[in-house]
Amino acid sequence: MLKRITNFLTSLKFGIILFIIIAVYSIIGTVIPQGMDLQFYLNQYHTFGSLMVFLQFDRVYSSVIYLAIVLVFVINLVGCTLKILPVQLKKMKDYIIHLKRKVFPNKIFHRSLPSILTWKVSLNNLQKNGMAAMLSAA
């Protein structure tokens, strides 16, 4: 159940829905004058004046509703990014290795190139074998 909720909160569909809600809310905040007192909204919008004040359309960009929607959107954006990050890093690593093999087809030369993505240095090997052994193994 928690997995389903997490997947929904970090889904692209939910992010698009939130983006549309933010856009609509921003349009409302642009069209309706902001920061006026209650009497202005009651005179100007008669029936909907009190509803507009209740929904905080008189101060859209500082309203709790708008800030909550933006906060949920930021959480969705971070969640989407963290969800696809490992896959994208693996694709990037595979692509860099592919480019290296294409540019440097000689396997011996290719293996001797130090690579940030493939060369792993452990503290134990450095202490036991020394730096020269590590460089010759790369």
Indicate whether 39 and 62 sit together in one domain. Answer: yes
Q: In the prediction, which pLDDT does 105 show?
A: 65
Residue 122 lies in a domain: yes
Q: In the prediction, which pLDDT does 123 show?
A: 46
Element (H, E) at 82: helix 64-103
Task: For the chain, 138 residues long, give each residue's pLDDT as a single digit of tens.
Answer: 888 988 898 999 999 999 999 999 999 999 999 989 889 999 998 888 888 888 899 999 999 999 999 999 999 999 999 888 888 888 888 888 777 777 766 655 444 445 544 444 444 455 555 555 445 554
- State the Cα–Cα distance between residues 128 and 138, nearest whole angstrom: 16
Structural domain of 123: 114-138
Cβ neighbours for 102, distance < 8 A, ≥ 6 positions apart:
none
Indicate whether 34 and 82 sit together in one domain. Answer: yes
Indicate whether 50 and 98 sit together in one domain. Answer: yes
| Token pair of 65 as six digits | 């509703």
**CA angle at 6 for the pair 26 and 18, rounded to the nearest 5°:** 10
Q: How many CA atoms lie within 13 A of 83 on its CB side?
A: 14
Q: In the prediction, which pLDDT does 89 show?
A: 85
Indicate whether 91 and 131 sit together in one domain. Answer: no
Indicate whether 87 and 122 sit together in one domain. Answer: no
Indicate whether 74 and 132 sit together in one domain. Answer: no
Indicate whether 74 and 125 sit together in one domain. Answer: no
Indicate whether 21 and 69 sit together in one domain. Answer: yes
Total count of domains within the chain: 2
Indicate whether 51 and 73 sit together in one domain. Answer: yes
Burial class (CB in 10 A: 0-12, 13-18, 19+), 93: middle
Residue 108 lies in a domain: no
Q: How many CA atoms lie within 13 A of 69 on its CB side?
A: 17
pTM of the model: 0.64
Nearest to 80 by CA among 17, 9, 19: 9
Q: In the prediction, which pLDDT does 122 show?
A: 46
Indicate whether 29 and 73 sit together in one domain. Answer: yes
Indicate whether 74 and 46 sit together in one domain. Answer: yes
User: What residue type is 86 in one-letter code?
Assistant: P
Indicate whether 54 and 85 sit together in one domain. Answer: yes
In sequence order, what E strands does the chain have?
none
